[in-house]
Amino acid sequence: MEKTGDLGRRLTVELPAEQIDQKVSGRLDELRRQVRLKGFRPGKVPLNVVRQRYGAQVRQEVLQEAMQTALQEAITEQELRVAGVSSLNPDDEADGEAFRFTADVEVFPELPDIEVSDLEIERPVVEIGESDVDDMIQTLREQRRSWSDAGRPAAEGDRVSIRFHARVGDRRVPEEGEHNLQPVLGSGALFEGFEQALTGVEAGDEKTVELEFPEDFGDPELGGNTAEVHIAVDAVEASEMPEADDEFAREFGIEDGMEQMRVDVRKNLEREMRGARTNRLKKAVTDGLAERYADFSLPESAVQQELQQMQAQLRQQYGEQVNLPEEQLRPGAERRVRLGFLLAEIARQHDLEIDPERVDARIAEIAETYENPAEVIELYKQNEQLVGQIENGVLEEQVVDWVLDNARVSDNEISFKQLMESA
């Protein structure tokens, strides 16, 4: 073994050529009994014919298997914690009595004992109150409201259907046609200047105004620009919300009425609260760890794997044509890899093992959101990949809990709304 870099190691492994030859001969002999060739009875094909036709392919397969097995044995013998294998190459210059190959690998960085006793973390303390239940029911009522012609100028709470185009200098946006919007005034769907321009309009109105579009406006050709905007108003509608009564609860499949709906809403809010609180604590812990242990080297193979996963996620979300430059994604990829090593190292240093009861509880919590929880639980238990994802998340939570048990933690009472706004 030789060191090729901070985390790079090159292993040169040698095997007796006789061992390879014996495996090749054995594999060809098995193949001779199975192969069917024109002019020969099944199982009676001469070995030299099989060797001539399939020898090169079989030898390549045997060599690949032998290299993989021997590499794992060498890694174990050298007590390496390997993060990735960069290359695996046969040595064509080895003498006839031996088969030799080289493997370039990257090892995990050696980290010191991770110390968190002086790490300061703020822990949110949240209770779901009746007002939080009221707010959620109000949101559900707003989602089920009906719209009809207002018959008057647009005011806060009204839905305004508009078509518009803009001019930025000599440029028309869009080049052809119109943008269509249907904002509810006062909801924050539009920036203040645009809302002011729509307040007081009536169906059939047309007007031209000058607006300063914010940088994050949906159309990048308008974002950050001042434009002359022509607006045509197609409709101004007022809303009517359903009453929060037993009939409203039944619309959501809750036959026991409004009282049961409030119980169900509270359960959902508590589930959301636990998730947001866990994420906030995890972020506080990981931010603290990433800042404190920011200097150790990272295996490039692990960073490249993370970059590939990030690109795949972006393509899945935004379409196959998306392909961001590596330098744009690299800081995020390196942070994820660094945090992964830190969390795994804490688990290793303190013998933290996945708690099966927490895994079962997490699966049950997910299943609760479905119509038939028992079927979902069974689906998870039959799928190793799904269970593995849950186990990884649970182990991360256990590491976060260990940090919280050993760091300087101060409780901060905040409302459910404040927690969700910061999530």
Alpha-carbon gap, residue 190 to 176, rounded angstroms: 22
Q: Supply the pLDDT for residue 303.
A: 92
Question: Above 90 in pLDDT, residue 185?
Answer: yes
For residue range 361-378, what is the model confidence (pLDDT) as tens digits?
A: 999 989 988 889 999 999
Distant-in-sequence contacts of 389-397, Cβ < 8 A, 24+ apart: 390/359, 390/362, 390/363, 391/354, 391/359, 393/362, 394/354, 394/355, 394/358, 394/359, 394/362, 395/343, 395/347, 395/352, 395/354, 396/282, 396/343, 397/278, 397/282, 397/358
- Write out the two tokens for 30: 């098995």
Total Cβ atoms within 10 A of residue 341: 19
Q: Supply the pLDDT for residue 50.
A: 80
- Write out the two tokens for 47: 């070995």
Q: Supply the pLDDT for residue 41.
A: 72
For residue range 228-286, what is the model confidence (pLDDT) as tens digits?
A: 999 999 999 999 999 999 999 999 999 999 999 999 999 999 999 998 998 999 999 99
Question: Above 80 in pLDDT, residue 43?
Answer: no
Question: Above 90 in pLDDT, residue 347?
Answer: yes
The values of phi and psi at residue 103, to 5°, are -130, 125
For residue range 388-402, what is the model confidence (pLDDT) as tens digits?
A: 999 998 999 999 999
Question: Above 70 in pLDDT, residue 94?
Answer: no
Overall fold of domain 146-240: Chitinase A; domain 3 (3.10.50)
Alpha-carbon gap, residue 102 to 315, rounded angstroms: 36
Read off the pLDDT band of 177 (50, 70, 90). Answer: very high
Q: Which of 112, 116, 222 is nearest to 175 (CA)?
A: 222
What is the CATH architecture of 120-129+258-421? Answer: Orthogonal Bundle (1.10)
Q: Supply the pLDDT for residue 97.
A: 80
Q: Supply the pLDDT for residue 378.
A: 93
For residue range 303-328, what is the model confidence (pLDDT) as tens digits?
A: 998 999 999 888 888 777 777 889 99
Total Cβ atoms within 10 A of residue 302: 21
CATH 3.10.50.40, the chain: domain bounds: 146-240
CATH 3.30.70.1050, the chain: domain bounds: 2-107
The rounded mean pLDDT for the chain is 91
**Pick among 1.10.3720.10, 3.30.70.1050, 3.30.10.20, 3.30.2420.10: CATH of 2-107:** 3.30.70.1050
Read off the pLDDT band of 40 (50, 70, 90). Answer: confident
CA 344 to chain centre: 18
